[in-house]
Chain A
Amino acid sequence: DTEVTQTPKHLVMGMTNKKSLKCEQHMGHRAMYWYKQKAKKPPELMFVYSYEKLSINESVPSRFSPECPNSSLLNLHLHALQPEDSALYLCASRFGAPLAGEYNEQFFGPGTRLTVL
């Protein structure tokens, strides 16, 4: 099973709203990622959690706030977003242990299509 789930599939929010995106995996993966993807562009890394600790924050604005409550769950809290934040938000995971080979494979969830009005 290589499934990463994300909810909601679609989200429309105003600039003053607070909302959260949720990501879940039950593959025992200990590295979890948030990416942002605009049309016709590659995924852009936002955050990486390794063993539930934030290991990479790619200078993302504070209106995006990640949270990793446990090894299976990853949230992205959104507040006071701008229209230019409209994008496909992708969660991904991989084993995360310092092992070689297929343990480095990263699997993406289906994404949340976010529209900020």
Chain B
Amino acid sequence: QKEVEQNSGPLSVPEGAIASLNCTYSDRGSQSFFWYRQYSGKSPELIMSIYSNGDKEDGRFTAQLNKASQYVSLLIRDSQPSDSATYLCAVKNTGNQFYFGTGTSLTVIP
């Protein structure tokens, strides 16, 4: 059983639309949840972190966490072509290890 699962996509949305990315995890003891954006050929860039149930907003990004359902999501409002990238969900347990999903490829169509 995979620790962290994401729909691999590709996900295509028109410019200005809302992009919705989803992630589920298997370890109920997980405490910290992260979304990274990775452009082709570049390293992952941390864009959101969330630690408690509910929503966390930062600009056009909203992370949502539901620990009971073991579900994390990322909403990107007013999607821009520059948002086209692979989005990695990462989950941290109580130790030092981060578990990554396989990533969702997002394309924003102008």
Contact residues of A with B, CB < 8 Å?
2, 31, 33, 40-43, 45, 48, 50, 55-56, 88, 90, 96, 100-102, 104-111
Contact present for A56 and B96 (CB under 8 Å): yes
What 1/0 flags go to B23-61 for Cβ under 8 Å of A?
000000001101010000011111001010000000000
B51 contacts which chain A residues (CB < 8 A)? 100-101, 104
Q: How far is the CA of A95 from the CA of B90 in the complex (A)?
A: 17
Contact present for B46 and A107 (CB under 8 Å): yes
Q: How far is the CA of A83 from the CA of B25 in the complex (A)?
A: 33
Of B43, B98, B100, B103, which contacts A109 at CB under 8 A?
B43
Contact present for B97 and A43 (CB under 8 Å): no
A-B CB proximity, top 10 nearest: A42-B100, A104-B32, A108-B43, A111-B43, A48-B96, A108-B44, A110-B43, A105-B49, A42-B102, A31-B96
| B106 located at the interface, meaning its Cβ lies under 8 Å from any Cβ of chain A in the complex | no
Contact present for B44 and A48 (CB under 8 Å): no
20 sample A-B contacts, Cβ–Cβ < 8 Å, listed by A number: A2-B46, A40-B103, A42-B101, A43-B88, A55-B96, A88-B43, A90-B43, A96-B96, A104-B31, A104-B49, A104-B92, A106-B98, A107-B46, A108-B43, A108-B44, A108-B45, A108-B46, A110-B42, A110-B43, A111-B43
A102 contacts which chain B residues (CB < 8 A)? 49
Kindly report which residue of chain B lies nearest to residue A45, judged by CB atoms: B97
Q: A2-B46, A100-B32, A110-B42 are in contact. List 11 more A-B contacts (CB 8 A).
A: A42-B101, A45-B97, A100-B31, A102-B49, A104-B32, A106-B34, A106-B92, A106-B98, A108-B36, A108-B43, A111-B42
In the assembled complex, how far is the CB of residue A51 from the closest CB belonging to chain B, in whole angstroms? Answer: 10
B96 contacts which chain A residues (CB < 8 A)? 31, 48, 50, 55-56, 96
Contact present for B88 and A42 (CB under 8 Å): yes
In the assembled complex, how far is the CB of residue B88 from the closest CB belonging to chain A, in whole angstroms? Answer: 6
Of B34, B43, B92, B97, which contacts A56 at CB under 8 A?
B97
Q: How far is the CA of A42 from the CA of B89 in the complex (A)?
A: 10
